[in-house]
Amino acid sequence: MYTCYNFTLFKGHFLIVHIMRIFKIISLTFSTVAAIGIVSIAVASNDIPKTSSNVLGAISIPTTRQLPSQTFGDILVNIPIVPVKKSETSQPQILAESAVIIDLESATPLFEKNSHIPQYPASTTKIATALVALSTYSNSDILTVPSDIYQQSQGSSADLVPGDQLSAHDLIRLLLIGSANDAAYTLAINHPNGYDTFVSKMNDLAHATHLSNTSFSNPIGYDSQNNISTAYDLSILTVFALKEPEFRGIVSMPTFTASSTLIPQKTYSVTSTNELLTTVKGVTGVKTGWTPLANGLLITSIERNGHEVIIVVANSRERETDTRLLIDWVYNNYTWE
């Protein structure tokens, strides 16, 4: 059985028909699937679009790898393989208040625990920060560390020196790998239209990707009633982000050293805050988070046997242990046919 919807691609003149395969899929809105670009589609001429663009206009989201296809009249549709649960088994016992597992290719939820309950996202906010920065700056753009950096970016830091200059390329890596608050603030304050516009762009991104329970008030992830999300929304944001090749490459890096452009040149080194990246086979990213109110968060991408899933745990005292349990559970209980 297939359910059909119509929508117009953001750029171009293609009329796209999205055909979604229904097995035992937990309800997932079409608008979310369309926004993250999960399904690649060809029109009658077989002129297949290679990428789709998000509403920010500068982040190009590639389609997924070649998928099984079926033809409906003049339209060729690539259908993602949807995971199938092997059998009914007990749920994993995790400490996290909220959690969700999403199949990356089909955007199918495979597990959830209170996944729509609002949570403080802490430094997982920086996924949105990075996407806005990638859409705002070229890698060669040189940004100046602001004079109020120490006052405005306390906590996790790359120890940036006020007045120093670094490329946007390096700052985005310090942001995602080392969770550097000073890199986040530097990226936001250097926006051509100012800090507030940068944060506004983060909220535009949340709206464009249909994160209905998410809002951002700062690029760092400081706790605020206006900086809020859910495990489910964070999983969809991550699926979207991992379609951006540069983002995917950055979050897979265990270490990074940035160099300033001023003389004498300074260097800033960070190590990934995601310990699973180097201790669990198949983990490819993505982002950690912690504040006293948020407790521990961990967003993980992992690929085994050619199948990649996104795991989000939020408000957890044992985020790594919870994630390990969910990794074992999902690959033991689902098959991709």
Q: Which amino acid is at 207?
A: H
Question: Which two structure tokens, joined as six digits, stand for 317?
Answer: 């005292």
Residue 245, token pair as written in the block:
């090749």
- 135 catalytic residue (yes or no): no
3-class DSSP state of 53? strand
CA distances from 270 to 23, 47, 164, 183, 287 (A): 44, 44, 17, 11, 14
Helix, strand, coil shares of the chain, percent, nearest 5, are 30, 30, 40
Rounded to the nearest 5°, which phi and psi values hold at 150? -70, -35
Establish whether 53 is a catalytic residue.
no
Which residue in the list 113, 115, 126, 260 is annotated as catalytic? 126
Is residue 215 within 8 Å of 207, Cβ to Cβ? Answer: no
Q: What does the DSSP assignment read for 209-240?
A: TT-TT-B-S-SS---BTTBBB-HHHHHHHHHH
**How far separated are the first and last CA of the chain, in Å rounded?**
17
- Give the separation between CA 29 and CA 103, rounded to whole angstroms: 15
Spatial CA neighbour of 150 closest among 161, 137, 139, 166:
161
Residue among 40, 115, 179, 301 flagged as catalytic: 179
Given 123, 235, 260, 316, the catalytic residue = 123
Which H or E run includes 246?
helix 245-251
Which helix (H) or strand (E) segment holds residue 111: the answer is: strand 109-113
Binding residues: 287
Would you say 54 and 241 are in contact if contact means Cβ atoms under 8 Å apart? Answer: no
Which residues participate in the annotated binding site for substrate?
287
* Annotated catalytic residue 86: no
Could you list the active site residues? Answer: 123, 126, 179
